[in-house]
Amino acid sequence: MAKVLVVTSGKGGVGKTTSSAALGAALAHGGEKVVVIDFDVGLRNLDLVMGAERRVVFDLINVVQGDAKLNQALIRDKRLENLSLLPASQTRDKDALTEEGVARVLDELRQKFDWIICDSPAGIERGATMAMRHADVAVVVTNPEVSSVRDSDRIIGLLDSKTELAEKGGRIEKHLLLTRYDPVRAERGEMLKVDDVLEILSIPLIGIIPESEEVLRASNVGSPVTLNNPASAPGRAYFDAVRRLKGETVELTIPTDKKGLFGKLFGRRAA
Amino acid sequence: MSLLSFFNRRTSAPVARERLQILLAHERGIVGGKPDLVAQLREEILAVVRRHVMVEQDNVQVKMNRDADISTLEIEIEIPAPAGASA
């Protein structure tokens, strides 16, 4: 059965789009049929991060409003045939995302895909609430930094109260994805540690993505980091996260790109 | 950075952790379920007071102070002097 996964955070710039693309590509690489939907109406970027910006013709709002068929708006990835993208509108208003319209599009997508990844915009307004509204699973992207942790806490509250699943008395499955983590700085006491964030937010950890140059390198060329450099530290960390999402038990490690002196001293296992 | 200051450097992560714990304890407990607790309290307290004395909306001040150990809710209601009281 298809799973609807929302990638959310509250705060902007923490890595929602990077993570949506990387998780989607890693899932598709493992043979799953995946669609990644950009809910950031007016500020779409998933197309750019996935290297499909020149192939956008129709978008989510066109489909919601019935101006285009779903198949006309879906963009199939050129590297992985079982990975698709549904872009956001760059020109329309976010109010065009009606709850019924989004529900209808998601129902149609459930027939075609195994995973539907909803890349949420920052904030807690319409785009963000629509992205989480029909989700079965949530990945809360958090940086080890006070404002990001606070906003994640707020988003967790919304996931537990404003989603369809929560309103029906169910409980949405929530996972923490800690991004831009620097184990060396955390060990020096300059950055919140994995355990600090876990204790504060108290949701299970799905992965730790280390701060890495590879993330920018991948977005520069429009390729999810899991495709651009699967062997890189963030690449491996996302692949591990995907295995955990699928229910496997994978030992939690923080992959490193190069083991310098500090890496050797502090690049130890997490939690 | 001198060698001495390198070793003496205070770590900031524990401060971040403590600040977050205090803040979120409040946001979850007080603000969490009810986003506008202060406004709601103000309305309800005003309604109770108005059963006995007529009070203007503008004459009510509600303040909330948050500290590590205790929080205080301060409510100041200005009650008009009864007519003829000064006589």
**For B56-84, how does the pLDDT look when each residue is reduced to its tens digit (9 = 90+)?**
777 777 776 666 667 677 778 888 776 66
Question: Which DSSP category does A124 fall into?
Answer: S
Question: Which DSSP category does A55 fall into?
Answer: G
DSSP labels, A143-159: -SSHHHHHHHHHHHHHH
For residues A143 and A208, give the distance between their C-alpha atoms in angstroms, rounded to a whole number: 10
Q: Which residue of A has its CA nearest to B35?
A: A154
Amino acid at A244: R
Tens-place pLDDT, residues A108-144: 999 999 999 999 999 999 999 999 999 999 999 999 9
For residues A268 and A209, give the distance between their C-alpha atoms in angstroms, rounded to a whole number: 14
CB atoms B27 and A150 under 8 Å: yes
- To 5 degrees, how large is the angle CA B34–CA A118–CA A91? 95
Question: Which of these, B59, B56, B52, lies nearest to B75 by C-alpha position?
Answer: B59
| Residue matched to tokens 């520069």 | A220
B8 touches chain A (CB under 8 A): no
Helix (H, G, I), strand (E, B) or coil at B31: helix
Tens-place pLDDT, residues A204-231: 999 999 999 999 999 999 999 999 999 9
CB atoms A189 and B13 under 8 Å: yes
This complex has an ipTM of 0.80
Which residues fall within 8 angstroms of residue A132, CB to CB, at 6 or more apart?
A6, A8, A118, A120, A138, A158, A159, A162, A163
CB atoms A189 and B32 under 8 Å: no
Measured between beta carbons, the chain A residues lying within 8 angstroms of B28 are 153, 157
Measured between beta carbons, the chain A residues lying within 8 angstroms of B12 are 189-190
pLDDT 10s digit of each residue in chain A, 271 long? 899 999 999 999 999 999 999 999 999 999 999 999 999 999 999 999 999 999 999 999 999 999 999 999 999 999 999 999 999 998 878 788 999 999 999 999 999 999 999 999 999 999 999 999 999 999 999 999 999 999 999 999 999 999 999 999 999 999 999 999 999 999 999 999 999 999 999 999 999 999 999 999 999 999 999 999 999 999 999 999 999 999 999 988 888 876 555 555 555 444 3
Q: A173-181 and A205-210 as β-strands: parallel, antiparallel, unpaired?
A: parallel
For residues A33 and A79, give the distance between their C-alpha atoms in angstroms, rounded to a whole number: 13
For residues A195 and A188, give the distance between their C-alpha atoms in angstroms, rounded to a whole number: 14
Residue B64 CB neighbour total at 10 angstroms: 15
* pLDDT for position B2: 55
Q: A75-76 and A3-8 as β-strands: parallel, antiparallel, unpaired?
A: unpaired
The mean of the pLDDT values for chain B is: 73
Question: Are the C-beta atoms of residues A190 and A266 closer than 8 Å to each other?
Answer: no
* pLDDT for position B32: 44
Interface contacts (A, B; CB < 8 Å) = 36
B19 touches chain A (CB under 8 A): yes
Structure pTM? 0.80
For residues A252 and B20, give the distance between their C-alpha atoms in angstroms, rounded to a whole number: 25
CA atoms within 13 A on the CB side of A179: 29
A155 touches chain B (CB under 8 A): no
Instruction: Name the CA radius of gyration of chain B, rounded.
Output: 22
Measured between beta carbons, the chain B residues lying within 8 angstroms of A149 are 20
Amino acid at A147: S
| Length of chain B counted residue by residue | 87
Q: Which residue of A has its CA nearest to B20?
A: A146
Look up residue B64 and give its two tokens: 């909330």
For residues A45 and A63, give the distance between their C-alpha atoms in angstroms, rounded to a whole number: 18
Q: What is the largest CA-CA distance in chain A?
A: 58
